[in-house]
Amino acid sequence: MKIRKALSLALATLLLTASFSTVFAEEAQTSSGIKTVVDFPDVLRTHNSYVAISHLAELGVLSGYPDGTFKPDNPINRAEVLKVILNGSNVEAPETFGEVTFPDFQKGDWFARFVMKAKALGIVKGNDADGTFAPGRQVNKAEFLKMLLMANQIRPVPIEEGGVVATDISNNDWFAPYLHYAFQVGLITKDDQGNLNPGKLLTRGEVSDMMYLLILIKGSKDTQFLLHRAESEMAQIEVYIAANKGTQAKRASELAVDLTQQAYKNMSDNNVVLGAAKLARSYDWLVDAFIYGIQKDYALAAEWANKAIDKATEAWEANNATQPIARHIKDRAGEILAQVEGAE
């Protein structure tokens, strides 16, 4: 079965021969653009958090270690996470601030200004027993989401009886409203057992993912921003497929669909936006065809390949500038159809 290799090479060709900046030219003309290359040598294009880390690094939200690495799979501590949260939420932490009121760090520590700003905003407080902050302690999902949402002035309402969405959370848990809200807006997802895992210790990459997703939500009215972010997600599809990471390819294609659908809500009378939305949907269905082909479910692979062809045609008709990519999607879907028909 050669579907994986064929689609990987096809998408690589697609990205080389049809620039996304050409497809979305009208929307890109007044934008400064977004770089897609991360300076961190240990953040490969195949990493699950590549797009998030790349964008946050471009914004200046993230910085690496003294050796230039980012270490995306390393755990993140309370000091580091506050820097990400405040920078990513556009909350300024001035270099000049008052006295440190926590006994376990000093004013000269690099993170002091972030902690003291967070305390002033009511985002953090000292340990009830000894007043310490514990800057080096690892951060779990519940703690992070509370700090993140509070920094963005999002205060979820208490959950009504029976309203909890995960099996490992009860209504009375202090973190329940934060995880419930985060799940509803798409910052987090359940695992295969239906859990949200509030106590899970987070990595630097996982924190980057959630910060990035909240930035996308906050930018939902900026159509140009949404299209550029969708462009980056679609560009990742080939990378993940080449690395045999179907789940990540699907995640990228679904996010591209969400972003372009929101852009279409903003500007439903714009053919560029309409074409982008249809193109993203076509990509998503092409990924489905690839995944089902790998799983040897040839009937579904053929069904989604045909859907991808139809939607690519619609994208082309909506905006002629999508023609190069739409044509390649149709060609690749056609190749999948030929292969699965021969395998049946």
Rounded Cα gap, residues 71 and 292, in angstroms: 33
Q: How confident is the model at residue 21 (pLDDT cuts 50, 70, 90)?
A: very low
First to last CA, the chain: 11
List Cα–Cα distances, 152 to 10, 17, 97, 239, 262, in angstroms. Answer: 42, 41, 21, 33, 21
Placement of tokens 């990378």 in the chain: 239
pLDDT digits (tens, 9 = 90+) for 113-139: 999 999 999 999 989 999 999 999 999
Share of the chain above pLDDT 90, in %: 78
Q: Please state which CATH class domain 1-44+226-344 belongs to.
A: mainly alpha
Rounded Cα gap, residues 231 and 249, in angstroms: 14
pLDDT > 80? residue 231 = yes
- Say if CB 185 and CB 217 are below 8 A apart: yes
Find, among 215, 252, 230, 242, the residue nearest to 23 by Cα.
230
Domain boundaries, the chain: 1-44+226-344
What's the token pair of residue 305?
Answer: 């390949």
pLDDT > 90? residue 9 = no
Contacts of the segment 298-303: beta carbons below 8 A, 24+ positions apart:
298/340, 298/341, 298/343, 298/344, 299/344, 301/3, 301/336, 301/340, 302/336, 302/337, 302/340, 302/341
H or E, element range at 273: helix 271-294
pLDDT > 50? residue 44 = yes
Which amino acid makes up residue 45? R
Number of CB atoms found within 10 A of residue 22's CB:
13
Rounded Cα gap, residues 256 and 95, in angstroms: 38
Rounded Cα gap, residues 243 and 128, in angstroms: 47
pLDDT > 70? residue 2 = no
Mean pLDDT of 233-258: 93
Q: What is the CA radius of gyration of the chain?
A: 22
Lowest mean pLDDT among 63-72, 73-82, 276-285: 63-72
Q: Is 130 exposed, middle or buried (0-12, 13-18, 19+ CB in 10 A)?
A: exposed
Mean pLDDT of 47-61: 96
Rounded Cα gap, residues 5 and 244, in angstroms: 10
Rounded Cα gap, residues 49 and 8, in angstroms: 20
Contacts of the segment 172-178: beta carbons below 8 A, 24+ positions apart:
173/198, 174/142, 175/142, 175/143, 175/145, 175/146, 178/142, 178/145, 178/146, 178/149
Number of CB atoms found within 10 A of residue 250's CB:
18
pTM for the model stands at 0.88
pLDDT digits (tens, 9 = 90+) for 147-205: 999 999 999 987 776 676 788 998 889 999 999 999 999 999 999 999 999 999 999 99
pLDDT > 90? residue 38 = no
pLDDT on residue 344: 59
Task: Phi first, then psi: give them for residue 77, nearest 5 degrees.
Answer: -105, 175
Q: How confident is the model at residue 73 (pLDDT cuts 50, 70, 90)?
A: very high
Task: Phi first, then psi: give them for residue 193, nearest 5 degrees.
Answer: -95, 5
Concatenated DSSP letters of 117-178: HHHHTTS----TTT----TTSB-BHHHHHHHHHHHTT--PPPPPTT---STT--TTSTTHHH
Strand partners, 203: 75
